[in-house]
Structure 1
């Protein structure tokens, strides 16, 4: 079973932008005048009557769409949201530099600084958890991918690999392989469910894409899609922005909307029924992400962690990534925009950056911790302000694309819950093995583009092939000199792509490649 819509509530919903059976039905059966009166009453209570100012000019379909959106808003929550947006934008921020502390070493584990036998022990523990059905993977895929410049979900993007595989397909195949490895190591069948948090923008195309590709070989019952909430954008005057005469400007409530979505869609109950105890959470755009990484899972379980984060060393001091640290003794992620140049460049006596644990949105949570968040802590999370250029209609009904920021989008981040952890753990991994995000269109900037993501994966697979004993030949049948240094501006010396169904981390390739010579491109696809 794939659950693509929230279960209908027993009472009228107080949810942002959710299309539920109850609210949709209510609007469809109201006559035109009553429909207006019902919407007007809600908006007056919320202090937002201007939303209906173009009502006489709307078609019946546009009126029903707008009334449906309004019906889904609980007036008190809507008023509080708009007021909070204004307060948050004008609030003075406490300087963080003097409050920040680097991570204490006792909470940090490292791939590069840990002995091989300890890594193997963590890996074995992780595989044990997977084989018992205790592990689930949860994908955050609700964003619109505006910077990438495509009209479809980012997971459907093809970065230009020889195979033509999309991010969704690569990730699905990694889950299949991890499940297979756990079964082979420990015997017996196991399940490794994949939960995918979408939004109103990404649910339908994602659902159709998976169905078209037959869930990429995964059991359909183990792929569970669900929606996060939507929030209206607010102008600097505290009024809801209309992006069309009959359409409110809405946006997903950030990847921290996960915690309300878990409750709205009864996901934790579903995990309980499946016997899931720990969850690996990640963002869709990282082409190198290791799904249900047994080493990470084993490390966190052995440490008794309820919450964990993977990090990478910053590529350079001013790299625009958040850092995992402590602020006033509380674990959190501090965004690069929140600190001074002096702070980001601060170094220890050994020359290492003081704040070097770059956040890559790759997390471990126990189900019990997620329950405590949804039941107790989620209301305490403070939304973050994003000041944006938001298309709108002016008082004459003309569509305007602003040249300067004109509105506020409020969102929460998945890492906002670190502060509630009773046993936090941080796992330091290698960037070249685990982190290359896809965020920007090719023409925008040189960083985090389809080209850099493609090259990162091809370099990784080239290194695997060389390590397994493969030799690559040029057009003169001479061996191409081996290079192992990742350079984002260049493709590797030989193009090589290896399917996740063959190898997840470069394992078990010697039989196929050792002491053999190949003319590139080398494609180990099936």
Structure 2
């Protein structure tokens, strides 16, 4: 049987006959946990330990031609945005979804408001409506939807704002036994859930051909990064990663590497301490992915995702969350690439309250820089 194409009659059969990401797939097909001890079975059962090398060079952002090409694609209505926002604000001491946290230093705008404004501004500039889909979790879906409703969706219309939910997996104690509670299952199944929800087919018919994906905990994310889209088109890539330089060898962030000619992302917990200095580039969690690849990965590759055990602490108790990560699908792209961006412009991760002063300072500095650049352009 040939591979189904996006928008084809076979798409509907896939949606109705195949669950997006069954909770049992790891147990039935893999029978292992992927934890912080090694890089076992990173890609379709291959052991990556010892054959994973640092990415030491890649193209850099700052290309005006790529920016203009991306802007043209956006003006043609080809771009949609996918925000991964299934997390709660518990680690921040915040009651509610992480996206509702008041992140800006002066006006105290929430992360959701900040991203919505960026998308609206890009849409006005391009003369189109740019759709935003938000992946929530069963733990925060109702609260997220209510937050948008109470705030008139921050100006986004019903043609621009959509929601779908990720799944849940049992939490485990330190002996890897079920605790009787469940937590969000990570973002690895985001593409499958997006397809299963019906949004893929809806957006494909609308003309969307590229997705910009980003995480809720990085307020410097640009949901409609035109230059990233331009690089994606120019190189004929189907997955483009926005990379940044690592702050230091101990930074808790995934790194970019290569293995057997493929671009990989390795989680910091899987990186041996002896290798920490070898990897100069970090994964920002921002991607441009072609819609054809979205469908292919959702249909054919979700069952190959390794299951990560992520150690969490809450109320003086430690436990494991079972999660899959979207970046583990990167090796299945026909052509993947990384584009290096200035860290101070695009990356200020907000994981704990200790990060807040630095994040707000980064937002202020970036706002000042944008204002000065815009003012300088008007003078020329």
TM-score bin (small chain): 0.7 to 0.9
In the other structure, the counterpart of 1:100 is 52
SS of equivalent residue, structure 2 residue 327: helix
CA distance in structure 2 between the aligned counterparts of 1:277 and 1:79, rounded to whole angstroms: 30
1:507 maps to 2:370: no
Please list, as runs of the form range in 1=range in 2, the aligned pairs for 1:280-359 lying within 5 A after superposition.
280-346=212-278, 355-359=279-283
1:223 to 161, 174, 193: 161
1:267-309 Cα shifts (integer Å, max 9, x gaps) = 2112112110000000011111112111110111111110010
Match of 1:52 in 2: none
The answer to whether structure 1 residue 209 and structure 2 residue 147 are counterparts is yes
CA 274–460 in structure 1, closer or farther in 2 if over 3 Å, else same: same
Correspondence for 2:359? 453
Contact 2:81 2:224 in 1 (8 A): yes
Once the two structures are TM-superposed, the CA of residue 342 in structure 1 deviates from its matched residue by 2.8
After superposition, what is the alpha-carbon deviation per residue over 1:362-416, rounded to whole angstroms, capped at 9, x for unaligned?
Answer: 00100000111011111111111123457xxxxxxxxxx664x4x4321111111
What is the deviation of 1:146?
3.0
Q: CA deviation at 1:463?
A: 2.9
- Greater mean alpha carbon deviation, residues 360-369 or residues 329-338: 329-338
Taking the aligned partners of 2:38 and 2:273, their CA distance within structure 1 comes to 19
Give, in whole Å, the separation in 1 of the partners of 2:224 and 2:304: 29
Mapped to 2, the partners of 1:256 and 1:409 lie a distance apart of 13
Deviation at 1:335, TM superposition (A): 1.9
Pair 14,420 (structure 1): closer, same or farther in 2 beyond 3 Å: closer
Post-superposition CA distance 1:147-182 (Å, at most 9, x none): 212121111111352222111111111111111111
Cα deviation, residue 508, structure 1:
5.8
RMSD between aligned alpha carbons?
3.0
Q: Could you say what secondary structure the match of 1:337 adopts?
A: helix
Query: Post-superposition shift, 1:15?
Result: 8.4
1:131 and 1:191 in contact (8 A); partners too: no
Of residues 418, 423, 433 in structure 1, which corresponds to 2:335? 423
Q: Look up the match of 2:4.
A: none
Instruction: Name the residue aligned to 1:110.
Output: 60
Note if contact 2:191-2:295 (Cα within 8 Å) is conserved in structure 1. Answer: no
Indicate conservation of the 8 Å contact 1:321/1:359, yes or no: yes
- Return the alpha-carbon distance in structure 1 between the equivalents of residues 53 and 369 of structure 2: 36
What is the correspondence of 1:167-182 to structure 2 with a 5 Å cutoff? Answer: 167-182=111-126
- TM-score by length of structure 2 reads 0.85
Q: Is the 8 A contact 2:119 2:224 kept in 1?
A: yes
> 1:409 is matched with which residue?
321
C-alpha separation between the residues in 1 aligned to 2:192 and 2:15? 17
Q: What residue number does 2:8 align with?
A: none
2:72 corresponding residue in structure 1? 128
Alpha-carbon displacement from aligned partner over 1:115-154 (angstroms, at most 9, x marks no partner): xxxx221111111111111100100000123321212111
The correspondence for 1:372, drawn from 296, 299, 310, is 296
- Residue 191 (1) aligns with residue 145 (2): no
Partner residue, 1:200: 138
Alpha-carbon distance in structure 1 between the residues aligned to 2:135 and 2:119? 16
Q: Where does structure 1 lack aligned partners over 5 or more consecutive residues? A: 1-8, 17-72, 184-189, 243-248, 347-354, 391-400, 468-505, 515-526
Q: CA separation in 2, counterparts of 1:164 and 1:337?
A: 33
Cα distance in 1 between the residues matched to 2:15 and 2:68: 45
Q: Look up the match of 2:193.
A: 261
**Is the counterpart of residue 434 in structure 1 residue 346 in structure 2?**
yes
Structure 1 180/327 Cα, relative in aligned 2: closer, same or farther at 3 Å? same
C-alpha distance in 1 between matches for 2:26 and 2:250: 38
Correspondence for 2:205 among 269, 273, 276: 273
Q: What is aligned with 2:84?
A: 140
Larger Rg: 1
Aligned residue for 2:95, secondary structure, equals: coil
